[in-house]
Chains A and B, each alone.
Chain A
Amino acid sequence: MADTMNHIERAVAALGDKPVDRLTAYPLAMGVCRRVVGDGKMTYRDWVSDPKKFASAFIEGQKRFDFDFAIGLMDLSVAAGDMGSVVRMDDQNTPFVTDPALKTVEDYEKLTVPDVKKGRSHVLVEGTGLFVQALGSQLITAAFLEGPLLSLTQAASAEKVFMDMYNNRSAVHKALKTITEYNGDMVKAMGAKKPAGLVWDYLWGSYSCLGDAEYEEFEGQYARGLNELTGKEGMAMCIHNCADLPHLDTQIKAFKPAIYSMAYYPLIPGSPSPKETIEKGYADNCLIGGQIDPRASCAGARRRCRRPP
Chain B
Amino acid sequence: MVKIAQVAGFLGSGKTTFLIELVKVLVDRGHKIAIIVNDVGEINVDVRIVEMYGLKAKEISGGCICCQIAGNFANTIAVLQKTFKPDLIIVEPSGVAIPWGLKRAAEYSEEEMEGEMIVHAPVVTLVDALRIDELITSVRRLVETQIREADVVFINKVDSATQEKIDMSVKFSKSINPNAEIMFGSGRNNQGVREVADLIEKRTSPRYDETYEKEMLKREYGGKA
Report A's interface with B, CB cutoff 8 A: 28-29, 31, 75-76, 92-94, 96-98, 153-154, 157-160, 162-163, 165-167, 203-204, 206-211, 241-245, 263, 265-269, 271, 273, 275-276, 293-296, 298-300
Contact = CB atoms under 8 A, between A and B. Distances in A.
Contacts of B144: 208
B98 A208 contact: yes
A79 B63 CA distance: 22
Interface stretch (B21-29, B83-91, B119-127, B134-142): B134-142
A295 B63 contact: no
Contact of B212 (A207, A267, A298): A267
B107 A295 contact: yes
B11 A268 contact: no
Interface string B34-75: 000000000000000000001010110111111111011001
B224 interface: no
A157 B100 contact: no
A294 B141 CA distance: 28
B58 to A, nearest CB: 6
A295 B98 contact: no
27 contacts: A92-B75, A94-B72, A96-B59, A98-B54, A154-B58, A157-B58, A162-B96, A162-B142, A163-B138, A166-B139, A208-B62, A209-B61, A242-B63, A242-B67, A244-B64, A244-B98, A265-B101, A266-B215, A267-B100, A268-B145, A271-B63, A273-B216, A273-B219, A273-B220, A275-B220, A294-B67, A299-B209
A211 B69 contact: no
B110 interface: yes
B97 to A, nearest CB: 9
A299 B213 CA distance: 13
Interface of B: 10-11, 54, 56, 58-59, 61-69, 71-72, 75, 94-96, 98, 100-101, 104, 107-108, 110-111, 134, 137-139, 141-142, 144-145, 148, 208-209, 211-213, 215-216, 219-220
Contacts of B95: 158-159
Contacts of A208: 62-63, 98, 141-142, 144-145
Contact of B138 (A167, A203, A206, A242): A167
Contacts of B59: 76, 96, 154
Given A207-B141, A211-B141, A245 B63 contact: yes
Given A160-B11, A166-B138, A167-B138, A203 B61 contact: yes
Given A94-B71, A160-B11, A153 B61 contact: yes
Contacts of A163: 11, 134, 138-139
Given A165-B138, A208-B145, A266-B216, A94 B66 contact: yes
Contact of B110 (A97, A269, A299): A299
A11 B100 CA distance: 33
Contacts of B134: 163
Nearest to A298: B111
Contact of A243 (B61, B138, B139, B208): B61
A104 to B, nearest CB: 15
A206 B145 CA distance: 11
B68 A268 contact: no
Contacts of A293: 212
Contacts of B96: 158-159, 162, 209
Contacts of A276: 219
A273 B212 CA distance: 11
A15 B56 CA distance: 37
A31 B220 CA distance: 33
B138 A31 contact: no
Nearest to A163: B138
A159 B69 contact: no
A154 B144 CA distance: 22
A166 B11 CA distance: 15
A31 B68 CA distance: 8
A76 B71 CA distance: 15
Contact of A162 (B67, B101, B138, B213): B138
B23 to A, nearest CB: 23
A298 to B, nearest CB: 7
A162 B63 contact: no
Contact of B98 (A75, A76, A268, A296): A268
A242 B64 contact: yes
A294 B11 CA distance: 31
Contacts of A92: 75
Nearest to B139: A162
B132 to A, nearest CB: 14
A208 B54 CA distance: 26
Given A158-B95, A267-B215, A273-B220, 16 more contacts: A29-B68, A93-B72, A96-B56, A163-B134, A166-B139, A167-B138, A209-B61, A209-B142, A242-B63, A244-B63, A244-B98, A267-B208, A276-B219, A296-B212, A299-B209, A300-B213
